[in-house]
């Protein structure tokens, strides 16, 4: 029995593939290479020491997916494939709804045709919107999202919930990620954004390597301990390990399950800058800029439900997250090879 991993060559998918195979699982990856390099496949293989199936295919290609399900013995799916840049989604809403929502509909239809009804979905803390107060718990109201990207996550959550109501054979796990950072300990896999990074940690590592001049801190007048935005950063390997527990869950039980994957600890932008400087020994130049539209002051999880029901807890601290991000960036100044 194999797990189909959509978007499995991307940042979180690649780390999850390594942990799945290290735990003895069979993995089949589908990725259209839109936001990753093929060399990510070679890096995963090198780390696990064995080959695995990779199909270059778009999840919106029903025929292509059909063939994969015909060729492989797939019993469950981890669905990472999607576009994820908040700002870009405001400029290109149709592309985001097509890729993320339509792509998921095509995938679910093909899964159903093949009697595969177990899926773990990459959702986001963004579904909690602007108005809930941290620590965020899974029973809080969701949906007050402010951008097309966030709306695709919320819409897909709704689609999957409706599917579970319609057919009790489905088993769905919605994982709401907080802020994944860090990289594999080996320094051979990590986050490799295209162009100017939108997110904090890749921006910091690019300043550290000399690719960018200075970080702009988006606002220092929030109601937080130092005025800068507070987030729940989680090591990508801890996040990957959460998926192993989630796959076990959907393989063992039908129904709908929702979990936050975070540490439960909030760090400000300046806390992260300091932790990174300590871990890397490199000073990070920064300037204070205006707030970024759509940002909230504070966002962190209550990760208790995942601990109680999945037996999962994030183990890696902010220092390790920074050390591993830096090892990846310093060993691969230009990211994955072409
Ligand atoms: P990523 O861009 O590194 O990985 C996504 C992968 O999916 C890429 O390799 C891309 O080529 C592939 N892909 C995209 N559209 C596809 C399609 N139509 N068909 C086939 N493959 C396709 O992103 P990531 O950071 O690894 O995120 C994985 C998932 O987690 C995404 O759904 C993202 O929205 C979600 N998520 C990410 C974060 C984060 O901060 N990284 C936070 C919350 C949720
Ligand atoms: N920040 C800066 N400067 C930068 C980049 C970010 O000061 O150059 C600040 C932001 O204002 C925020 C914090 O650093 O306070 C973290 O910002 P990120 O962009 O790294 O992360 P976000 O919390 O804004 O968003 C991330 C993902 C979204 C996802 C959300 C919740 O990018 O896709 O987490 O899961 F929806």
At 175, the pLDDT band (50, 70, 90 cuts) reads: very high
Closest listed residue to residue 178, CA positions, set 302, 32, 7, 49 = 302
Average of pLDDT values for 188-199?
A: 96
Helix axes 11-22, 39-48, angle to 10 degrees: 20
Determine if ligand 1 sits within 6 Å of the CB of residue 82.
Answer: yes
Measured by CA distance, the residue closest to atom 29 of ligand 2 is: 126
At 323, the pLDDT band (50, 70, 90 cuts) reads: very high
User: Is 146's pLDDT higher than 90?
Assistant: no
Average of pLDDT values for 226-251?
A: 98
Ligand nearest to the CA of 299: 2
Of 11, 149, 177, 233, the catalytic one is 149
Measured by CA distance, the residue closest to atom 19 of ligand 1 is: 58
Determine if ligand 1 sits within 6 Å of the CB of residue 47.
Answer: no
In angstroms, what is the span from residue 331 Cα to ligand 2's centroid? 24
SS3 label, residue 297: coil
- pLDDT score at 129: 95
DSSP result, 141-208: ------SHHHHHHHHHHHHHHHHHHH-TT-EEEEEEE-EEE---TTSS-----SSS--SHHHHHHHHH
At 82, the pLDDT band (50, 70, 90 cuts) reads: very high
Pocket mutation for ligand 1, best pick of 84, 194, 231, 239 (most atoms within 8 Å of C-beta):
84
pLDDT in tens, 1-58: 999 999 999 999 999 999 999 999 999 999 999 999 999 999 999 999 999 999 999 9
- CA distances (Å), origin 19, targets 141, 151, 201, 237, 323: 32, 30, 22, 8, 20
In angstroms, what is the span from residue 321 Cα to ligand 2's centroid? 16
What is the biggest distance separating any 2 CA atoms in the chain, rounded to whole angstroms? 56
Ligand nearest to the CA of 40: 1
At 187, the pLDDT band (50, 70, 90 cuts) reads: very high
Average of pLDDT values for 164-171?
A: 98
Closest listed residue to residue 65, CA positions, set 107, 104, 99 = 107
Three-class HEC string of 93-139? HHHHHHHHHHHHHHHHHHHHHCCCCEEEEEEEHHHHCCCCCCCECCC
Per the DSSP assignment, residues forming a β-bridge with 163 are none
In angstroms, what is the span from residue 222 Cα to ligand 2's centroid? 14
Average of pLDDT values for 233-261?
A: 98
User: Is 160's pLDDT higher than 90?
Assistant: yes
- pLDDT score at 190: 98
- CA distances (Å), origin 225, targets 290, 313, 338: 18, 26, 42
In terms of C-beta density within 10 A (0-12 exposed, 13-18 middle, 19 or more buried), how is residue 202 classed? buried
Three-class HEC string of 50-66? CCCEEEECCCCCHHHHH
Closest listed residue to residue 176, CA positions, set 229, 234, 223, 222 = 234
Rounded Cα–Cα distance for residues 271 and 181 (Å): 14
Ligand nearest to the CA of 151: 2
- pLDDT score at 300: 98
- pLDDT score at 35: 97
Cβ atoms of 297 and 230 closer than 8 Å: yes
The Cα angle at residue 75 between residues 69 and 78, in degrees rounded to 5? 90
What would the two tokens of residue 207 be? 């300043």
User: Is 224's pLDDT higher than 90?
Assistant: yes
- pLDDT score at 262: 98
The Cα angle at residue 333 between residues 277 and 241, in degrees rounded to 5? 70
SS3 label, residue 322: helix
Rounded Cα–Cα distance for residues 16 and 296 (Å): 29
Average of pLDDT values for 66-90?
A: 97
Which phi-psi region, left, alpha or beta, contains residue 143 (left: φ > 0; alpha: ψ -120 to 50)?
left
The yes-or-no answer on residue 222 being catalytic is no
Determine if ligand 1 sits within 6 Å of the CB of residue 177.
Answer: yes
In the chain, % of residues over pLDDT 90: 99
Average of pLDDT values for 284-297?
A: 96
pTM for the predicted model, two decimal places:
0.98
């Amino acid at each position: 029995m194999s797990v189909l991993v959509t978007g499995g060559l991307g940042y979180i998918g690649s780390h999850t593939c390594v942990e799945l195979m290290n735990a003895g699982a069979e993995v089949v990856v589908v990725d259209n290479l839109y936001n990753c390099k093929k060399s990510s496949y070679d890096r995963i293989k090198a780390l696990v020491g064995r080959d695995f199936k990779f199909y270059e295919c778009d999840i919106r290609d029903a025929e292509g997916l059909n063939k994969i399900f015909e060729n492989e013995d797939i019993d469950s799916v981890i669905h990472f494939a999607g576009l994820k840049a908040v700002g870009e989604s405001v400029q290109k809403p149709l592309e985001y709804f097509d890729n993320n929502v339509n792509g998921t509909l095509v995938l679910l239809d093909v899964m159903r045709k093949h009697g595969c009804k177990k899926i773990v979905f990459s959702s986001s803390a963004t579904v909690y919107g602007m108005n809930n107060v941290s620590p965020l718990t899974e029973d809080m109201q969701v949906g007050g999202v402010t951008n097309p990207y966030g709306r695709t996550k919320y819409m897909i959550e709704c689609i999957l919930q409706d599917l579970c109501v319609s057919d009790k054979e489905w088993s769905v796990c919605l994982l709401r990620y907080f802020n994944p950072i860090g990289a594999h300990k080996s320094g051979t896999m990590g986050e490799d954004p295209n162009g100017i990074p939108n997110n904090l940690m890749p921006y910091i590592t690019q300043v550290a390597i000399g690719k960018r001049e200075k970080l702009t801190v988006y606002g220092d007048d929030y109601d937080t301990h130092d005025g800068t935005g507070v987030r729940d950063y989680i090591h990508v390997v801890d996040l990957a390990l959460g998926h192993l527990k989630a796959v076990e869950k959907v393989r063992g039980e039908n129904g709908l399950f929702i979990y936050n994957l975070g540490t439960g600890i909030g760090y400000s932008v300046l806390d992260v800058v300091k932790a990174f400087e300590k871990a890397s020994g490199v000073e990070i130049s920064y300037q204070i800029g205006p707030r970024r539209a759509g940002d909230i002051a504070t966002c962190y999880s209550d990760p208790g439900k995942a601990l109680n029901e999945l037996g999962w807890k994030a183990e890696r601290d902010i220092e390790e997250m920074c050390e591993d991000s830096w090892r990846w960036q310093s060993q691969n100044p230009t990211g994955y090879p072409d």
